[in-house]
Amino acid sequence: MKKYDVKNCKILSAKQITEDIFDFIVYCPDFAPIAKPGQFAHIYVPGKTLRRPISICEIDKENNTLRFVFQIRGDGTRILSEFKEGMELDILAPLGNGFGLKDKEKKALFVGGGIGVPPLLGAAKHYGENATVCVGFRNKGAVILEEDFKNAGCSIKIATDDGSYGYHGLVTKLFEEEKPEIIYACGPTPMLKAVAAFAEKNGIECEISLEERMACGIGACLGCAVKLRNEENEEYMGHVCKDGPVFDYRKVVY
Ligand SMILES: Cc1cc2nc3c(=O)[nH]c(=O)nc-3n(C[C@H](O)[C@H](O)[C@H](O)COP(=O)(O)OP(=O)(O)OC[C@H]3O[C@@H](n4cnc5c(N)ncnc54)[C@H](O)[C@@H]3O)c2cc1C
Ligand code: FES
């Protein structure tokens, strides 16, 4: 079995960016040089047996930092949100396979919903001005990373459920006219299904990142079992943590 590394990593910056979303920059000299967009870290939360999986939002190989953007969902992420600049996080990383990045001249479409948006930033930066990013949120107050995508040169379209910012409606309406050569998506299942249908209809390559409940994070339990499909169209059980979290859309049984 692959050897996994755990390190104490210092938080260089810890910010609250919305009512319940936090943005950490963490010094990870052992992980940043080998991390890829779409991979995740398994973070120890004091008092909890199971680590919490959080995607790597950005990798700065020059400064050896990883960025994590996470939302308070329960006890674990609430405890994590109380960490401050200068404190250390116990991190197991980088885990999972990450996105398959192609020639950066290709036209890439990124589709994200809510807290499914952070894992897309690193990959979108790779394509820069060739990336169109379509993202959906509950309302204006929940919008995150807009400036980050813009600073990376990407075009960004935003939808909100209540119309308080950008397009009033579903994110899936934002990319109907797009003609990308590759698609990357992360977010709620109905959104992923719509993206997969769009990819299928137009014959476009597409990778989706799944966020399943997890336990060990390294393929040693069945905590993240998910139904997949092989090339013969036979269904089998796979692991999101080890086989994913990024999958070719044709592999996933929704
Ligand atoms: C590959 C991957 C990447 C993720 N990236 C991010 C990210 O970048 N930002 C972010 O805000 N969230 C992310 N999540 C979701 C995040 O892991 C959960 O919100 C978090 O584990 C909830 O923990 P909790 O203790 O606050 O909630 P609780 O509900 O109290 O957690 C109880 C248990 O269930 C697990 N669990 C609950 N919800 C999820 C979930 N959606 N996914 C996985 N395990 C869950 C917890 O890890 C814990 O073991 C990711 C999940 C996965 C699998
Ligand atoms: S979380 Fe244990 S196998 Fe994936």
The predicted pLDDT at position 2 comes to 57
**Residue 147, phi-psi category: left (phi > 0), alpha (psi -120 to 50), beta (remainder):** alpha
Q: Ligand 2 in contact with 51 (CB < 6 A)? A: no
Handedness of CA 29, 33, 36, 37 (dihedral sign): positive
How many alpha carbons fall within 13 Å on the CB side of residue 39?
Answer: 19
Q: Between β-strands 167-168 and 155-160, what pairing exists: parallel, antiparallel or unpaired?
A: parallel
Could you read off the pLDDT of 1-13 as tens digits, one per residue?
A: 455 688 899 999 9
Distance 129 CA to ligand 2 centre (A): 36
Write out residues in the chain with pLDDT < 70, as ranges: 1-4
Distance 98 CA to ligand 2 centre (A): 16
The ligand whose atoms approach the alpha carbon of 212 most closely is 1
- Nearest-atom number in ligand 2 for the CA of 242 is 4
Pocket residues: Cβ below 6 A from ligand 1: 40, 50, 52-55, 69-71, 73-77, 115, 118-119, 211-214, 245
Which pLDDT score is estimated for 213? 83
* E-state strands within 177-219: 182-186, 205-209
